Amino acid sequence: LSMALKKLQGSTGYKLCCRNKIRSLTQKLGMPAFFITLNPHDLMNVLVGNFTGISEEGWRIMTYQRVCFVVPHPGAAPMAFHEQIQAFIDDILCYKWGNELFGTCSGYYGMVEVQG
């Protein structure tokens, strides 16, 4: 049953599948050099405003109105999150691009944890 539910996020089969991927990466590439946790803040990110059509200056002027603005635009926050994570992988890790800030990156494993 756990293998049938391996694509259902949060299920026991999904967690087992993720653990197996991490184990196989560890066998192939060795132990990880370090772990990084990224926690982008949706309400401070200018990209959220850009994806909904607000200028950068307009977004910076807004304070508590950002919360009221993000709620009816549910697609903007995930798009901004994806852009930030992809920029981290491309610009900081430089995966498959050569040496950069942390040296040569031979592999990485990313996971998104959802709260609530």
12 band by pLDDT with thresholds 50, 70 and 90: confident
Measure Cα distances from 64 to 14, 55, 60, 68, 75 in Å.
37, 17, 11, 7, 19
d(CA 104, CA 108): 11
27: pLDDT strictly greater than 90: yes
Closest by CA to 45, choosing from 59, 64, 57, is: 59
Q: Are 109 and 21 in contact (CB under 8 A)?
A: yes
- Terminal alpha carbon distance of the chain: 25
23 band by pLDDT with thresholds 50, 70 and 90: very high
What is the secondary structure of 81-104 as a DSSP string?
Answer: HHHHHHHIIIIII-TTT--BTTB-
Upper half-sphere CA count for residue 103 (Cβ side, 13 Å): 4
Q: What is the pLDDT of residues 28-64, one digit of tens each?
A: 988 887 788 888 887 888 888 888 888 888 888 888 8
